Amino acid sequence: MTDLEMLERQMTEWRRDLHAHPEFGFEEKRTSAFVAAKLREFGLDVAEGVGGTGVVGTLKRGNGNRAIALRADMDALRIPEQGAVEYRSQNPGVMHACGHDGHTTMLLGAAKLLAEDGGFDGTVRFVFQPAEEWGKGALAMLDDGLMERFPFEEIYGLHNMPGLPVGHFETRAGAMMSAEDNFEIVLKGVGGHAARPHAGNEVLVAACALVTNLQTIVSRRLSPADIGVVSVTELITDGTRNALPGLAHILGDARSFRPEVSAEIEKQMRVIAEGTALTHNVSAEVTYTREFVPLLNDAALVEEAFAAARTVFETDHVGTAREPMTGSEDFARFLEHVPGCFVFLGNGRDSAPLHNPTYDFNDAGLIHGTRFHAAIVKRRLPEK
């Protein structure tokens, strides 16, 4: 058995252990302890509790004064697992439905590989981040002095991608993943008996009209050249079978790739909400927040990532992502401070979708992510 085959076997064990013990954002105490113990075992300097439950490992070789960072996310989702694997979640109602167990494992594998083999000159920061799923973990680490305590000049991250074959690699320059805005619209009227709608100003008809009207933001109020998504995900009222509601909450999210588009979506949402409410003789209150910023890859570092990937993957398995993805990633917060590149690795054509209760990370992809991490380090911090 080769050293890489042995590492792959070890990583499969680590990944399945992490999968069996998922933890929600800022609750990753067992996961963080697992990561810190492994990093110390590999000989790295380790800092725990960065941004709450984050971990940063530092590995230095040679005399180079440049530093780069590699990042993995550790948190799981509040989704009951429906898979039947023997290593399924032992934490009821929580599961690794997005593959962060795999991301953490691939970065641990890279730390072990680089600690043993070297092959670079400079400093590598291994950033294990909490709470990616709700967009707070990167900010927490940054607010806790990540850049000052563990400085680096550029950063790389990756995410598994269902539908993309294992052993395939994709990235693109510029917009890679979208911003995510959240909104809540509260409609207030006067509820009453279902048999006497004329006696009050019920809100359900207004809410249904508003849900439909919000769809015109993208179809009629944004330029066709801009990418935007407005999705209503919840409609909650205080009505019951024979009582018309006097209060309705409409919640959802919006996606975009430019701040100007985000601002226009908010502006038009307020205009439509107020106009629809006026038409139905009720009031509207709009709360609009920005949770994730757009993920914008540095063009020069994308080319570096492609070059590193071609040393790991077959040449025809390295490609440019055709279009930006309207999902969001708080890796983008790091890119507000330093240039970097985020990439996608295949999780298999038959993989369940991300955030699906039957999803599972494909262990066959572990070694590819680990080797890519190591390759980008050796390319960006070459031995003199």
CB 76 within 8 A of CB 23: yes
d(CA 96, CA 132): 12
* 295 φ/ψ angles, rounded to the nearest 5 degrees: -95, 110
8 Å CB contact between 19 and 77 = no
Annotated binding-site members = 98, 100, 133, 159, 355
**Interatomic CA distance for residues 296 and 179, integer angstroms:** 10
Q: What is the CA radius of gyration of the chain?
A: 24
Long-range contacts of 42-50 (CB under 8 A, 24+ apart): 42/111, 42/112, 42/115, 42/116, 43/115, 44/111, 44/115, 44/126, 47/149, 47/150, 50/141, 50/144, 50/146, 50/149, 50/150
Residue closest to 218 by CA, chosen among 210, 226, 208? 226
Instruction: Check: CB of residue 183 under 8 Å from CB of residue 288.
Output: yes
CB-count exposure of residue 3 (10 Å: 0-12, 13-18, 19+): exposed
Place of tokens 């000052």: 148
Question: In which element (H, E) is residue 116 found?
Answer: helix 100-117
Which DSSP category does 95 fall into?
B
Detail the residues annotated as belonging to a binding site for Mn(2+): 98, 100, 133, 159, 355
- Contacts (Cβ under 8 Å, ≥6 apart) of 86: none
Report the 10 Å Cβ neighbour count for 272: 21
- Given strand 179-188, what is the order of strands in its sheet? 228-237, 247-256, 179-188, 283-292
